């Protein structure tokens, strides 16, 4: 008996397809209720992908937030003719996961390079102090909440403006500014505490 593969291949129910198309139209129209439904529908999938590839629940939660913020702010870029909404969200998820892995690599590289910066044979007696300052800075950054740390790392080490950071992360510009301001305040407190401790020695 000859089987028609077109008929036997799994096909999404028409109702489900229409519902997804409605959600996509709602997203493009900035309908917050549609966006909430989109989060309920695909949030678990996005979090599962991020958790499996990053191996860190907290990072997965951050990536999930970034994916949906990016989807909301980039909704004008959704093109239904290029594929369904779910596939578009998966594409954003993959990019955010790559960004998170790259940020993790940069943090580890900074810590490693700070530890290897001192040249014991060099004539510069101030070099150990500079290395200590860098280690202190990296340690202080590592203690910041994740969003504050990432914003400051992008500003310090990639020389990105706050507008560029907002575009890359999908966070509103005001949120980026808030993270930068609070992060700098915390860094300043840590450095001042370190300097006070040195003065007491």
Is residue 129 domain-resident? Answer: yes
Which comes out higher in pLDDT, residue 172 or 191? 172
Please state, in angstroms and rounded to a whole number, the distance separating the CA atoms of residues 58 and 61: 5
Quick check: 36 and 27 in contact, CB under 8 A? no
46 lies in the same domain as 87: yes
Confidence of residue 198 (pLDDT cuts 50, 70, 90): low
72 lies in the same domain as 130: no
Question: Final residue of a domain: which of 99, 125, 140?
Answer: 99
| Long-range contacts at 155-162 (CB < 8 A, ≥ 24 apart) | 155/180, 157/106, 157/110
Task: Return the axis-axis angle of helices 32-54 and 85-115, rounded to nearest 10°.
Answer: 50
Is residue 106 domain-resident? Answer: no
Confidence of residue 8 (pLDDT cuts 50, 70, 90): very low
Specify the pLDDT at position 125.
47
SS3 string, 64-113, reads HHHHHHHHHHCHHHCCHHHCCHHHHHHHHHHHHHHHHHHHHHHHHHHHHH
> Is 57 a residue whose pLDDT tops 70?
yes
Which comes out higher in pLDDT, residue 101 or 117? 101
Q: Which of 176, 200, 189 is nearest to 69 (CA)?
A: 176
195 lies in the same domain as 124: yes
Confidence of residue 195 (pLDDT cuts 50, 70, 90): low
CB environment 185-194: b (16+ within 10 A), e (fewer): ebbeebeeeb
The enclosing domain of 140 has a CATH number of: 1.10.10.10
20 lies in the same domain as 93: yes
Residue 158 phi/psi, 5° resolution? -110, -5
Number of domains in the chain: 2
Specify the pLDDT at position 7.
36
Is residue 48 domain-resident? Answer: yes
Confidence of residue 136 (pLDDT cuts 50, 70, 90): low
Quick check: 186 and 144 in contact, CB under 8 A? yes
The enclosing domain of 40 has a CATH number of: 1.10.1740.10
Taking only the tens place, the pLDDT of each residue in 60-79 is 888 899 899 999 999 888 88
Q: What percent of the chain has pLDDT over 70?
A: 70
Specify the pLDDT at position 5.
37
Quick check: 169 and 150 in contact, CB under 8 A? yes
Specify the pLDDT at position 146.
81
92 lies in the same domain as 162: no
Which comes out higher in pLDDT, residue 110 or 9? 110
Specify the pLDDT at position 92.
92
> Is 134 a residue whose pLDDT tops 80?
no
Residue 129: its H or E element: helix 127-143
Is residue 150 domain-resident? Answer: yes
123 lies in the same domain as 88: no
145 lies in the same domain as 178: yes
Question: Final residue of a domain: which of 43, 70, 99?
Answer: 99
129 lies in the same domain as 201: yes
Domain that holds residue 146: 117-201
129 lies in the same domain as 199: yes
Mean pLDDT check: name the lowest of 42-46, 108-112, 115-119.
Answer: 115-119
Is residue 111 domain-resident? Answer: no
| DSSP classification of residue 120 | T
Is residue 35 domain-resident? Answer: yes
Is residue 3 domain-resident? Answer: no
71 lies in the same domain as 132: no
Instruction: Tell me the pLDDT of the chain averaged across its residues.
Output: 76
Q: Which of 36, 30, 31, 28 is nearest to 76 (CA)?
A: 28
72 lies in the same domain as 136: no
Dmax (CA) of the chain: 90
Is residue 2 domain-resident? Answer: no
Mean pLDDT for the stretch of residues 7-15: 49
Confidence of residue 48 (pLDDT cuts 50, 70, 90): very high
């Amino acid at each position: 008996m000859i089987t028609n593969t077109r008929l036997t291949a799994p096909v999404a129910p028409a109702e489900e397809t229409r519902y997804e198309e409605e959600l996509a139209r709602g997203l493009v129209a900035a309908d917050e209720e549609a966006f909430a439904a989109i989060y309920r529908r695909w949030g678990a999938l996005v979090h599962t992908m991020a958790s499996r590839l990053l191996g860190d629940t907290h990072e997965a939660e951050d990536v999930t937030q970034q994916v949906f913020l990016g989807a909301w702010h980039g909704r004008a870029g959704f093109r239904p003719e290029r594929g369904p909404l779910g596939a578009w969200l998966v594409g954003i998820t993959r990019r955010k996961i790559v960004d998170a892995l790259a940020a993790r690599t940069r943090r580890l590289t900074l810590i490693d390079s700070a530890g290897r910066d001192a040249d014991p044979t060099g004539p510069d007696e101030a070099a150990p102090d500079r290395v200590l300052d860098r280690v202190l800075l990296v340690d202080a950054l590592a203690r910041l909440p994740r969003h504050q740390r990432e914003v400051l790392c992008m500003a310090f080490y990639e020389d990105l403006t706050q507008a560029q950071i907002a575009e890359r992360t999908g966070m509103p510009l005001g949120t980026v500014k808030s993270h930068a301001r609070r992060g700098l305040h915390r860094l300043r407190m840590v450095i001042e505490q370190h300097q006070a401790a040195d003065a007491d020695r």
